[in-house]
Structure 1
Amino acid sequence: EEWQNILSRGDAISEGELEDVAKEYFQWIISRPFDCGNTIRTAFGGAPVMRAAKESSVSMATTMTKSARNSGHSKANGALMRESPLFLFCHSLVGSEYGRRVIHQIAALDCRLSHPNPTCVAASMAYVTAGAALVASAECTADARVELALRVAKEALSVAGGEGWEVKGWLEDAETATNSSEIGAWPMAGYVKHAFTLAFFMVKNKVPFEQAMHDVLILGGDTDTNAAIVGGLLGAFWGQDALPRAWVQTVRTCVPNVGSKVPRDPSVYAPSLLYEYAPILMERSPCHDCLSGSPPEPAKGLHCKKTVCVAEDDAAGLS
C-alpha cells in the first residue's frame, strides 16, 4: 500500500501540479490496491470523485479535497505515509523563511486531499519540512542536521497554529523519550501521533536504520505504515548508502504482479521505479528564481539553488 501510493504520485508531483497528483491518486484507488485505509478510500474513491473522473471540466483536486471533508474527524496516518517524495521535491526551498512557507503550503495541500483534520495537516507540514531539511543538509554534521530538522519542524508547527500545538507536544515527546517503547504504537493503531513521534525520536537519537525498523515493527499496531513514515524521515537522515544492501536489492528486484492477489502493473507500480523518480524530483526541486513574488534573501548558510550548499556553522541559524 505505502510504496504503491508513493509511486502513484512520483511523476505527477515532479510536474508540480496538484491536479495531476489528485488524478494519479484516483488511478491508484481504482487499481484496487490490496490494502487501503477508510479515510483515504473516502477521499480518493467516493462517489463525487467517481463522477468527477467522468467530467473533464471538473477539477479532481477540488472534488477530492471536498470529499475528504467527510472524514474531517480522522487523525489517521495515511497522508503522512506518502509524503517522503516531497522531501526531494522541496529540498532546495529550505534555505529561507519564504521557501519554508512554500513547503508548508505544498504539504498542507497534499494532506488535505485525504486528511483535512488540522492535526494531520500540521503533522504533514512539520514532517515534510524536516525531511526536506535533512536532504538539503546532507553535507553537514549529524548533530547540526538533527538540530536543523527539529528547528524547522517546530517552526512549521508554530505557523500551523491551533492544532499545531498538539503536534508540538508529540515533538517534545520525541525529544524526551528514552526508548521507542515509551512512545508505543497503541491504542488506536493508525493514529498519526504514533508514527510521527517515532520518526522524530529515531532521528533525534540517530538510531541506525535497520535497528529503527526492528524497533518500530516489534511495537505492533499499524506496523507497515509506521515503518513507512519512520523509514522516510530516517532515510532522509542516513541516506541510501546506509540502508541494508539486501533490503535495497529486494526492492530493486521486486515484481509486484508475481504471487499477488491483485496483480499490479509493473510499468506503474514496480518498486524499482523509486530509483528513477528520485533524481527527477531532486532536479525539479524549485528554487527561489522559479517562484513568483519577491522572496527575501536566503538565510545565511543555506542557499536555494539546484545544488544546495549548507554551511555547518550556520545550519542551526535559520530564522
Structure 2
Amino acid sequence: MSKKMQIALGAIKGALIGDAAGSVMEFKFLDRLPNDSDVVNALSLNGGGVFRLAPGQITDDGELTLSLLNSLRQHHGIYVSDIVAHHYLMWIDSKPFDVGRAISAALYVHKDQRKIDGLASALQKRALQFNSDSKANGCLMRATPLGVAAFNMTIENAIKMVKTDVRMTHPHLDCQDATVAYVLAIRHLMFFPEDHLGAVTVAKDYLTDNNPDVKSWLDAALEGNLPQAFPLDGFIKNAFSYAFYHLSQNAAYEFALADTLKRGGDTDTNACIVGGLIGALRGIKQIPSEMVEKLVNCDVKTGLKPRGDNFHPKNVQSWLHFVPTEES
C-alpha cells in the first residue's frame, strides 16, 4: 500500500472512527465532564448513546464525509461542485437521525429547485440567507476527502475547491479559512508523510496572509491554550484548535482522541475533526486495528438507527481509487 493511500485512509477512517467514538457521549454530559471510564468506553466503539447506535456506527459527521467522498469517486477525484451538492441533498433526503442546525438550514431545498446545473450556487445562496453569521463546525467535520483530493492539484486550486464546498453550508470567512487551513495541512501530509511541523507551517502561512482571527486561534493552540468545549459546543474554533494542537505535538491517534473526548462538548464532531487530521498524520497503519475493524464491519441493523449502504464506512477504500496504491 502506498504512503499516499495509507494517509488517505488514515484521514478518512480516522475521522469516521472519531465520529463513532464521540457519538456514544453526545448529549450525555450536560452537568459534568466525562471521566476516564467514559472515555475508555467511547473508544471501544461499542455503540449505544442517546441514539442507541450499533457498535462502530457513524453519525451525520461521517455520513456527510462519505457523501463528499462518493461524489469525488464518481469523477476520479475531481471536485464537481454541482455533483457534490447533489450528494449532500441525497443525504438530507435519506432522513438522517441527526442533523446540525446550520446544515439543516442550508440543505432543506424544495425539490422543485433542484436542477443539477447551478445546484451548488443555489445552496450557497441559501447558506448566505440562513447561516451568514454561523461559526459552526459542520463544514470542517466533512473536509477530510478535500484534503485527500487536494494532493492532485495546486494549492491555489485546493483553496478554491475548499471555499466552494464550505460556502454551500457555512459562508462565514472564519469557517472558510479554518477549513482551508485544515485541508492544506492534510494535503501537505499526503506529500510529506508525518511532517507535522511542515503541515502546521502550511496552515499558519495561509492564515497569516488571509485571516488574523483564525490565525490567533492557531497561535493559541500551538501554545497549548485551548478553548473549553462548552457551552459553545458547536463552535468551529474548538475542534480546529484541538486538531492543530495535537498535530503540533505529533500526537498518537488514540491519545488525541481520548484527550478530545474528555473535554466533553460536541464530542462526535470534535473527535471527527481531530481524528481526521491526526489520522492523516499517523496513517491507517498507526490507527488501532480493532477500531478500524469495528468501523468497517459495523452492522447497523443491530442498533436502532439503520442506514443505507451509501453511508457505510466499508466503502472508503474502494472509493479512494483515485489515490495511487503503489509508490511511483
Normalised-by-shorter TM-score class: 0.7 to 0.9
Match of 1:6 among 65, 79, 85: 65
Which of 148, 161, 174 does residue 88 from structure 1 map onto? Answer: 148
In structure 1, the partner of 2:102 is: 39
Distance between the aligned counterparts of 1:283 and 1:10, measured in 2? 16
The answer for the alignment partner of 1:254 in structure 2 is 298
Question: Which residue, out of 189, 192, 198, partners 1:148?
Answer: 198
Q: Is the 8 A contact 1:183 1:197 kept in 2?
A: yes
Structure 2 Cα separation of the partners of residues 248 and 100 of structure 1: 31
Specify the alignment match of 1:241 in structure 2.
285
1:282 is aligned with what amino acid?
V
Shift of 1:45: 1.2
Aligned partner of 1:202 among 243, 246, 260: 246
Contact kept in structure 1, 2:148 and 2:190, CA below 8 Å: yes
Whether the 8 Å contact between 2:136 and 2:170 is mirrored in structure 1 is yes
Q: Percent same amino acid at aligned positions? A: 32
How does 1:168-317 map onto structure 2 within 5 Å?
168-177=215-224, 182-261=226-305, 263-266=306-309, 268-278=310-320, 280-283=321-324
Determine the structure 2 residue equivalent to 1:297. Answer: none
DSSP 3-state at the match of 2:323? helix
> For residue 89 of structure 1, what is the amino acid of its counterpart?
A
TM-score normalized by structure 2?
0.76
Work out the CA distance in 2 between the residues paired with 1:192 and 1:174. 13
Q: Which has the larger radius of gyration?
A: 1
- Is 1:127 matched with 2:187? no
Aligned length: 264
Gaps of 5+ in 1: 94-98, 285-305, 309-319
Match of 2:169 among 98, 107, 114: 114
1:30 aligns with 2:93: yes
Q: Choose 82-91 or 223-232, whichever is displaced more.
A: 82-91
Confirm or deny: 8 A CA contact 2:200 2:247 kept in the other structure.
no
Q: For the residues of structure 2 that align with 1:197 and 1:230, how far apart are their CA atoms? A: 9
Q: Pick the aligned partner of 1:68 from 127, 146, 169.
A: 127
Residues 178-198 of structure 1: CA distance to partner in whole angstroms, max 9, x if unpaired? Answer: 7xxx43312310100000000
How many angstroms apart in 2 are the aligned matches of 1:168 and 1:107?
A: 18
Aligned CA RMSD, in angstroms, stands at: 1.9
Q: Please report how far the alpha carbon of residue 86 of structure 1 lies from its aligned counterpart in structure 2 after TM superposition.
A: 1.3
Distance 1:189 1:52 in 2: 33
Q: Deviations over 1:196-231 (max 9, x none)?
A: 000000010011111111111110000000000000
Find the aligned partners of 1:193 and 1:8 in 2 and give their Cα distance. 24
1:28-84 per-residue CA deviation (whole Å, 9 max, x = no partner) reads 01101111101001111144xx3322x45x521111111111211000000000000
Which residue type is aligned with residue 147 of structure 1?
L
Partners of 1:126 and 1:156 within 8 A in 2? yes
Paired residue for 1:21, among 84, 88, 110? 84
Tell me which amino acid in the other structure corresponds to 1:52: Q
Instruction: State the secondary structure of the residue aligned to 1:115.
Output: coil
Letter in 2 for 1:146: H
Contact 2:102 2:169 in 1 (8 A): yes
Higher relative contact order, structure no. (Cα contacts within 8 Å, ≥ 6 residues apart): 2
Whole-angstrom distance in 2 between the partners of 1:154 and 1:51: 43
d(CA) in 2 for partners of 1:86, 1:243: 21
Cα distance, 1:135 vs structure 2: 1.8
Secondary structure of the equivalent of 1:80?
coil
Q: Which amino acid aligns with 1:79?
A: C
For 2:289, give the aligned amino acid.
R
Name structure 2 gaps, 5 residues minimum. 1-59
CA contact (8 A) 1:40 1:114 kept: yes
- Read off the aligned partner of 1:135 and give its amino acid letter: M
1-side partners of 2:270 and 2:151: how far apart?
Answer: 23
Where does structure 1 differ by over 6 angstroms across 4 or more consecutive aligned residues? none
Alpha-carbon contact 1:175-1:204 (below 8 Å) kept: yes
TM-score when normalising by structure 1: 0.78
2:50 matched to which residue of 1? none
Partner SS, residue 233 of structure 1: helix
